[in-house]
Each structure stands twice: as C-alpha cells, then as structure tokens.
C-alpha cells in the first residue's frame, strides 16, 4: 500500500512539475521577395514622436495585467524599416502611441529610442521610452512602374 501511495505521489508531483505554462509565439520569416520603392511611391513625414511608461512592482506591470492593451495596432499593421531587432514591450507601446497619434501612415522608418529607467532594489522599476521616427504612407496613385521585368 505504501509503494502504491509513494508511486502515486511521485507520479502526481512529476505531472505537476513537468506541466508548465506554455508560451507560443508566431512569427513570419522574411520572404525572398524584393519590393523596389522610389520616392514617388511613398510619402515620408517629418519626424514624429511617441512615448510610453511602464511601472513594475515586484516585477509585474499591474496597470496592464488585468486589461488587454496590445503594443501594436490591431486595426491593421505597420512595417518598421531600418529596425531589425526585437522591441521590448515598452518600446512597442511607444511605437503604438506614435501610430495612434498619426493613424494615416503605413510604416515606421528608422525609429530611435530614448530609454530612461529608475529602479529601487528589486521592488520597483519605472521605465519611460520616447520614440522618434519618420512615418511613411504608400501613395495609391502615380508612382513608379512596378511591372515585371522581361
């Protein structure tokens, strides 16, 4: 009886410890296509900016924990030209803020980030990110001939 109880307890603890939370991420690989744009194909804006702030207490962002606010536009998407790295959540919120302020643009061109962080031991962390970038809008009429080359 003890062996069965020990086996059951071991099996149950193994199931509990080995069954962890799963995080799934989807991404799109770069396609082997080339899009040749000229200055006639896109309207480029003056530099615009956005800002975001994140406060973490005990490593948790309590203001965004129980609400859903994505760091990207959900009513469409935007391209980021000149940025190959992964954005932190606060940087993503700053880009989202900039795109929300200027909704008629399609692309973020060469963003630059200024990050200011204050940490008090491991309890409290406040991060402020300012982003500055030019925004691009694809022209719907005119532009260069985008036909295939023969």
The CATH number linked to 124 is: 3.30.110
Picking from 129, 125, 134, the residue whose alpha carbon sits closest to that of residue 113 is 129
By residue range, what is the domain housing residue 110? 38-138
Residue 115, token pair as written in the block: 């990050």
Whether 42 is in a domain gets the answer yes
Give the whole-angstrom CA distance, residue 118 versus residue 124. 8
> Token match 């962890």: residue?
20
Whether 107 is in a domain gets the answer yes
Whether 130 is in a domain gets the answer yes
Whether 143 is in a domain gets the answer no
The domain total for the chain is 1
Whether 21 is in a domain gets the answer no
One pLDDT digit (tens) per residue for the chain, 150 residues: 888 888 888 887 776 666 655 444 444 455 566 777 777 888 888 999 999 998 888 888 877 776 655 444 444 455 666 666 778 888 888 888 898 898 888 888 888 999 999 988 888 999 999 999 999 888 887 555 544 444
Whether 115 is in a domain gets the answer yes
Give the whole-angstrom CA distance, residue 123 versus residue 121. 6
State pTM to two decimals. Answer: 0.62
């Amino acid at each position: 009886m003890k062996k069965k109880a020990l086996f059951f307890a071991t099996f149950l603890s193994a199931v509990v410890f080995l069954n962890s939370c799963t995080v799934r991420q989807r991404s799109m690989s770069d396609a082997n296509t080339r899009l040749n744009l000229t200055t006639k194909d896109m309207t480029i804006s003056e530099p615009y900016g956005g800002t975001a702030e994140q406060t973490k207490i005990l490593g948790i962002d309590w203001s965004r924990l129980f609400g859903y606010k994505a760091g990207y536009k959900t009513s469409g998407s935007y391209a980021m030209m000149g940025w190959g790295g992964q954005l932190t959540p606060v940087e993503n919120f700053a880009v989202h803020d900039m795109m929300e302020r200027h909704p008629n643009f399609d692309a973020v061109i060469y963003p630059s980030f200024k990050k200011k962080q204050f940490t008090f031991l491991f309890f409290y962390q406040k991060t402020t990110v300012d982003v500055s970038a030019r925004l691009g809008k694809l022209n719907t009429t005119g532009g260069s001939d985008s036909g295939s080359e023969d």
